[in-house]
Chain A
Amino acid sequence: MNGTPSLHLLWIPLLPFLGFLLNGTIGRRLSRPVVSAVALLFTFLPFCLVANIALQFHSLALPHVEYLNHWIVAGGFHADFAFSVDELTMVFLLVVTGVGFLIHLYSVGYMAHEDGFWRFFAYLNLFMFFMLTLVLAENFLLLFVGWEGVGLASYLLIGYYFDRDSAANAGKKAFIVNRIGDFGFLLAMFLVILHFGTLSFQAVLAELATQPALHGGWLTAIALCLLVGAAGKSAQIPLYVWLPDAMEGPTPVSALIHAATMVTAGVYMVARTHPIFDRSPFALGTVAIIGCATAFFAATIGLMQTDIKRVLAYSTVSQLGYMFLACGVASYSSAIFHVVTHAFFKALLFLAAGSVIHALSGEQDMRVMGGLRSKIPVTFWTMTAGVIAIAGIPPLAGFFSKDEILYQVFTSPMAGAKLLWLVGLLTAGLTSFYMFRLYFLTFFGASRAEFAHPHTPEPTHSPEASKGMAEATTTHAAPHATVHSPDPHGAHGEPHESPWVMLLPLVILAILSVVGGALGLPGEGNFLHNFLSPVLRVVGSPEAAENGALEITLALISTLTALSGFAVAYFFYLKRPELPGELAARFRGLYLLLLDKYRIDELYDTILVRPVLFISRYILGGVVDTGIITGAGFGLGTGIKGLGSVAQRMQSGNIRSYAGWLAAGAALLLVLTFFGFGTHLPR
């Protein structure tokens, strides 16, 4: 095609699929070391392929496209199995295979005591297959394969502990909510077919480039439909509700799928199709507002959660909001930058949280943690790196990416950009606060483990309860406290550090979280920005002139905000640990509202789920179907009772009598035809 050698792109997704087939079919009969070896190998090989591409990347003609086969050819429409690599794909390939491999490695240790070990790794490989298909796809339809596929893998992994109703419910909820997003994605594809006649990214973008005057109108419709899809996958308002529940899955799943990779697919999709969004200021504005609102909203919920994984889940929703905010101001490269750093530090945070949970034999409630600093030192130090990184304190990775987004928002010409910036800044402060709250509750103070036995949902109220417990115990005895039955790890007694297969990924991710910001240092030398600009540069918009002074001022403001979040958390949870409880008691309504996540799930249940089920069950299923439709048939049946009795006699069970009836019927028919109708027919 373009003279470059084949990069064997097919094998990048296909290898994990082979791993899935192998472990999925015969994995049950294999020993655990063999299962893990298969899963690791079939994740590591794609990483090698990707690394190989990265090494020869400078010599490639981009985008490098490899056609394999037609997938669907009908009418004038066709969609192919075609993979393509460009700068954007490269970034995602490296993150997905790199972080993916590390999390596979971690899982070998984390899942060591679980039943269904083979199943877990088969699903994990299946996820890699779909995720890699998603980022390599050259057309909308193949992207949709990956899109739906990662949803499937997510469904299977969230419901991994399938004997728990909560896990099964969460898996189903995730899939259905994602399907609502996919509904939007499908409509977007239909519109693209209608107006472009093709689903190939290259062809669509080329067509757009030839029509520079095209703006708004149906392009806005396409962009908004795509946004519905992205909001489903990337957990944005109003479709974010599945992600917190997805924490029912094993922790490595939360790290890989629900933090580092899958949930960023929406951001990837928006970036991939950005020329469509660029033509529609309305759609871009919507993206920005939704992103900003989600970032803030989720952060406020994260403030009061007591389950360590839920805090991280809401923080993920909130960080994804930042990425959408960046897309909304057409600064796609800073969104991708945040995707990358977020993949590092959020995967790290989840894995470290998993290590904490592992150490505590399955405990996830922060109210009964505390004082773990010295007991699990490696986890503690790596978690420290992750918390500082997400809080946005320089010079760790999160600072640079978040600061770039805030800077881009501030300087955006969009109306109301300054307000978005302010909300973004406020969210940064909240983020810093709830992350340090998590950090202090988990690792500092005295251990509160003895005040609760881990498997009762409500911690017992006890006057000696450490003050960190006060927040929950004094004010809130309702069953809302989100202590879900934790991963059923075997009890090991004293908190213990995790094995090396779990610590190695932690250390690597910690290093990346510390130095990852170097990818996108502000100024002319912003490596990632320059690297991605062939794909993500907005045509027609001049490169914004760098304003050094403004940039430094804004950086200073956001650093101060992050530090104040830290200071408040320090004051509340280390200095005066009784304060949170007192405040919670005073502002009980607000506190409960936050703790109950604004009761959005209940709202959806009341206005959507229940009415639909009611209509299904009683109106359609009851009145219409049993009453009218079947009733009509029943009337038909009883009305011809005589025929019924004849038919009853027919059912003698005697084969000769059936044959007789058959023959008689056929004969009657023939007689009728020949003599009844045949006589007056022409000829």
Chain B
Amino acid sequence: MLNEHILSITTFVPALGAILIALLPRQGKVIQWCALLVSLLTFALTLHLPAHYDYGTRSFQFVEDYSWITSPNIRYHMGIDGISLWLVVLTGFLAPIGVLASWTAISTRSKEFYFFFLLQQTAMLGVFTSLDIFLYYGFWELSLIPMAILIAMFGRTKGPAAAIKFFLYTFIPSALFLVAILYLYAKSGTFDFVTLQHMLATGQLGITQNALAWTAFAFLFAFAVKVPVFPLHGWLGDVFSEAPTAMAMVVAGKLGLYSILRFNLGLFPAQARLFAPWMIALAVIGIVYGSLVALAQKDLKRLTAFATLAALSFCILGIFCFSVAGLDGAVYQTLNEGLSGGALLLLLGFLYERYGTYEMPAYGGLAARLPWMVAFFVITSLSLAGLPLLNGFVGEFLVLSSSFATHTGWAAVATTGVILSAAFLLTMVQNVFYGKQSALVQGRSTIRDINAREHLAVWPFMVLMLVMGTLSPYWIKAIEPAVRGLASNPFGLHYAAHSEVRFTALPPATHTAEAK
């Protein structure tokens, strides 16, 4: 029973929680506790998935498939595979931590905050679980709105401006995306992902290659903005600066990357290969550019934004090499970024609550005052810098080593990212924590180190960083069967018939055969 409806239950529990919160009185910490319980419940429900997941197969699991609206033909179709499994769990994991991060940071209008916060959870879970593109699109749009509203309401100084920027950046491409969806529907008469995938792969739709390429481009463009991919990252810095910590933690990365994997590689594998050279170039530029610009930032949030751009570019690089190990690495790196980037934003939030600024030059010498804080910061930085035995290394290594096999030059340039990331992260750690104590730090001598609630929020990150850095097969065994399909493209013969599509990116035989 639970297995049959687990995805619906998981997805809509936060929304129900949001309604509950709307009805609760604004009294004491009632709303916070309610939000915490709901998000913990959601997390527990997401954990049901890996526990009952069949790791041997690559087909969709926990499927719910009902006809919802007959005309137009919209189905309520949900299901997950190895690509979405851990992203659902990650979303569940970040929710209670988001509540803990907002516990004191959000002191006014907490009802509105948690209402939209929980709505956002439903939207994100829905994006990962929907297999009907119309349903998916609904959740996708829903994920943008609470985000924009919360940025506007709770921004530090320029919230409304950042919200509009975010909205425009993400909404305009989404409109194109919608047109592409409707075009596909017009041609196929279905929004169902699995049906569409089959129809596209077997060439039943009779769409010209040109039209298909434009359709795929509309999909990719919307996702690339949301990731963001260089040079579409213009919104990221402002949103990171203004968004409440709990929102900033989930705004970038996983939604867009998941969608690229699911739709661009799943529906349009040949077109994805057409775009690949461009995407790889943009990814490598994004890595180097993001790291270099991060090096020069004085604002901690903007630094994080560029660091995020660089980290997400690794995922793009892994995706568009179409090798199994690279795709494994890309999905893993997506999880890593959600985890380590989230941890960094969380810690920055704690810092801001204490000192009221993200200006790096205002800090200095904190290490003597806040020993736990510096320890967490250093570990998180090392995770982001890809230190082996921590999570970041696994993804980075897989992405770089497999892209090296197919795009040696680009991969070598991307590998300089390991030098640059160490440079900007350690510079940040040094400026904030080492050296003499700054006037700001000295002036607030009563400030205490990490408290119990904050410990509760941070430790899961720290433990997971180490566990994901050492026991990666546990995650990859679910990811691999799913990405294997994307790498090999089961209908490859069909596409190979079109002469303009070349499969240059298949992994060389030595890579797979000899290692066995």
* Chain A interface residues (CB < 8 Å from chain B): 24, 28, 69-78, 81, 141, 144-145, 148-149, 152, 155-156, 159, 162-165, 167-169, 171-172, 175-176, 179-180, 182-183, 186-187, 189-191, 193-198, 612-613, 615-617, 620-621, 624-625, 628-630, 632-634, 636-637, 640, 643-644, 647-648, 650-651, 653, 655, 658, 662, 665-666, 669, 673-674, 677-678, 680-683
| Stretch of B1-9, B247-255, B340-348, B393-401 contacting A (4+ beta carbons < 8 Å) | B393-401
B145 at the interface (CB under 8 A from A): yes
Q: With A72-B398, A682-B186, A682-B189 given, is the CB distance from A179 to B418 under 8 Å?
A: yes
> Which of A183, A630, A681 is B186 in contact with, Cβ under 8 Å?
A681
* Chain B interface residues (CB < 8 Å from chain A): 22, 71-73, 109, 111-112, 115-116, 138, 141, 145, 149, 152-153, 160-161, 163-165, 167-169, 182, 185-186, 189, 231, 233-235, 237-238, 289, 292-293, 295-297, 323-326, 328-329, 365, 367-368, 371, 375, 378, 382, 387-389, 394, 397-398, 400-402, 404-405, 411-412, 415-416, 418-419, 422-423, 426-427, 430, 433-437, 470-473, 476-477, 480, 507-508, 510-516
> Which of A77, A156, A168, A640 is B515 in contact with, Cβ under 8 Å?
A77
* A612 and B163 within 8 A (CB): no
CA distance A155 to B423 in the complex (A): 13
Whole-angstrom distance from the CB of B100 to the nearest CB of chain A?
21
Q: With A74-B329, A616-B296 given, is the CB distance from A636 to B427 under 8 Å?
A: no
Q: Which residues of A contact B388 (CB under 8 A)?
A: 141, 144-145, 148-149
Whole-angstrom distance from the CB of B394 to the nearest CB of chain A?
6
* A620 and B405 within 8 A (CB): no
* B234 and A78 within 8 A (CB): no
CA distance A195 to B235 in the complex (A): 42
Known A74-B328, A628-B231, A633-B234; 6 more pairs at CB < 8 Å: A77-B515, A149-B387, A176-B419, A617-B296, A621-B292, A636-B168
* B511 and A76 within 8 A (CB): yes
Closest residue of chain B to A615, judged by CB?
B292
Q: Which residues of B contact A163 (CB under 8 A)?
A: 365, 367-368, 434-437
Q: With A77-B401, A175-B426 given, is the CB distance from A195 to B510 under 8 Å?
A: yes
* B480 and A674 within 8 A (CB): no
CA distance A624 to B398 in the complex (A): 31
Main secondary structure of the interface of A (DSSP, over half): helix
* B161 and A637 within 8 A (CB): yes
Q: Which residues of A contact B426 (CB under 8 A)?
A: 155, 171-172, 175-176
* A165 and B515 within 8 A (CB): no
Whole-angstrom distance from the CB of B155 to the nearest CB of chain A?
10
Q: Which residues of A contact B436 (CB under 8 A)?
A: 163, 165
Q: With A74-B329, A74-B398 given, is the CB distance from A612 to B168 under 8 Å?
A: no
Q: With A73-B476, A648-B160 given, is the CB distance from A193 to B292 under 8 Å?
A: no
Whole-angstrom distance from the CB of B272 to the nearest CB of chain A?
18
Whole-angstrom distance from the CB of A635 to the nearest CB of chain B?
10
Q: Which residues of B contact A644 (CB under 8 A)?
A: 164
Would you give 22 A-B contacts (Cβ < 8 Å), ordered by A? A69-B471, A71-B470, A71-B472, A71-B473, A72-B398, A74-B480, A156-B378, A162-B433, A169-B430, A183-B419, A186-B400, A187-B415, A612-B292, A616-B296, A620-B293, A621-B293, A625-B293, A633-B235, A651-B149, A653-B112, A680-B186, A681-B185
Q: Which residues of A contact B382 (CB under 8 A)?
A: 152
* B511 and A148 within 8 A (CB): no
* A176 and B165 within 8 A (CB): no
* B422 and A176 within 8 A (CB): yes
> Which of A24, A76, A168, A169 is B512 in contact with, Cβ under 8 Å?
A76
Closest residue of chain B to A225, judged by CB?
B412
Q: With A612-B292, A681-B72 given, is the CB distance from A655 to B160 under 8 Å?
A: no
Q: Which residues of B contact A643 (CB under 8 A)?
A: 164, 168
Q: With A163-B365, A194-B511 given, is the CB distance from A75 to B415 under 8 Å?
A: no
Whole-angstrom distance from the CB of A135 to the nearest CB of chain B?
16
Q: Which residues of B contact A632 (CB under 8 A)?
A: 234
> Which of B116, B289, B515 is A76 in contact with, Cβ under 8 Å?
B515
Closest residue of chain A to B433, judged by CB?
A162
* B419 and A179 within 8 A (CB): yes
Whole-angstrom distance from the CB of B458 to the nearest CB of chain A?
13
Whole-angstrom distance from the CB of B178 to the nearest CB of chain A?
8
Whole-angstrom distance from the CB of A630 to the nearest CB of chain B?
5
* B293 and A190 within 8 A (CB): no
Whole-angstrom distance from the CB of A257 to the nearest CB of chain B?
17
Q: With A197-B514, A647-B160 given, is the CB distance from A616 to B153 under 8 Å?
A: no
> Which of B149, B169, B470, B472 is A658 in contact with, Cβ under 8 Å?
B149
* B434 and A162 within 8 A (CB): yes
The residue among B22, B163, B400, B423 with the most chain A CB atoms within 10 A of its own CB is B423
* B295 and A653 within 8 A (CB): no
Q: With A197-B510, A197-B513 given, is the CB distance from A647 to B152 under 8 Å?
A: yes
Q: Which residues of A contact B323 (CB under 8 A)?
A: 75
Closest residue of chain B to A79, judged by CB?
B397
* A621 and B297 within 8 A (CB): yes
Q: Which residues of B contact A73 (CB under 8 A)?
A: 472-473, 476-477
* B389 and A637 within 8 A (CB): no
Closest residue of chain B to A186, judged by CB?
B415
Q: Which residues of A contact B149 (CB under 8 A)?
A: 650-651, 658
Q: Which residues of B contact A76 (CB under 8 A)?
A: 324-325, 507, 511-516
The residue among A156, A648, A665, A673 with the most chain B CB atoms within 10 A of its own CB is A673
* B476 and A182 within 8 A (CB): no
The 7 closest A-B pairs by CB, nearest first: A197-B514, A76-B512, A75-B325, A633-B234, A75-B324, A168-B434, A617-B296
Q: Which residues of B contact A669 (CB under 8 A)?
A: 141
* B168 and A194 within 8 A (CB): no
* A175 and B418 within 8 A (CB): no
* B400 and A176 within 8 A (CB): no
Closest residue of chain B to A200, judged by CB?
B515
Q: With A186-B400, A190-B401, A651-B160 given, is the CB distance from A74 to B476 under 8 Å?
A: yes
Q: Which residues of B contact A628 (CB under 8 A)?
A: 231
Q: Which residues of B contact A193 (CB under 8 A)?
A: 401, 404-405, 511
Q: Which residues of A contact B161 (CB under 8 A)?
A: 637
* B168 and A640 within 8 A (CB): yes
CA distance A26 to B394 in the complex (A): 29
* B472 and A28 within 8 A (CB): no
Q: Which residues of B contact A666 (CB under 8 A)?
A: 138
* A183 and B164 within 8 A (CB): no
Whole-angstrom distance from the CB of B381 to the nearest CB of chain A?
11
> Which of A75, A141, A196, A613 is B507 in contact with, Cβ under 8 Å?
A75
Whole-angstrom distance from the CB of B511 to the nearest CB of chain A?
6
* B367 and A162 within 8 A (CB): yes
CA distance A163 to B141 in the complex (A): 49
CA distance A11 to B422 in the complex (A): 30
Whole-angstrom distance from the CB of A463 to the nearest CB of chain B?
37
Closest residue of chain A to B161, judged by CB?
A637
CA distance A211 to B146 in the complex (A): 62
* A175 and B169 within 8 A (CB): no
CA distance A674 to B233 in the complex (A): 34
Q: Which residues of B contact A630 (CB under 8 A)?
A: 234, 237-238
Q: With A144-B388, A162-B367, A186-B415 given, is the CB distance from A176 to B511 under 8 Å?
A: no
* A651 and B152 within 8 A (CB): yes
CA distance A442 to B408 in the complex (A): 54
Q: With A76-B513, A168-B434 given, is the CB distance from A176 to B292 under 8 Å?
A: no
Q: With A162-B367, A633-B234 given, is the CB distance from A681 to B189 under 8 Å?
A: yes
> Which of B387, B400, B404 is A148 in contact with, Cβ under 8 Å?
B387
Whole-angstrom distance from the CB of B349 to the nearest CB of chain A?
22
> Which of A164, A186, A647, A678 is B418 in contact with, Cβ under 8 Å?
A186
The residue among A74, A613, A629, A665 with the most chain B CB atoms within 10 A of its own CB is A74
Whole-angstrom distance from the CB of A136 to the nearest CB of chain B?
14
* B328 and A75 within 8 A (CB): yes
Q: Which residues of A contact B324 (CB under 8 A)?
A: 74-76
Closest residue of chain A to B480, judged by CB?
A74
Whole-angstrom distance from the CB of A171 to the nearest CB of chain B?
8
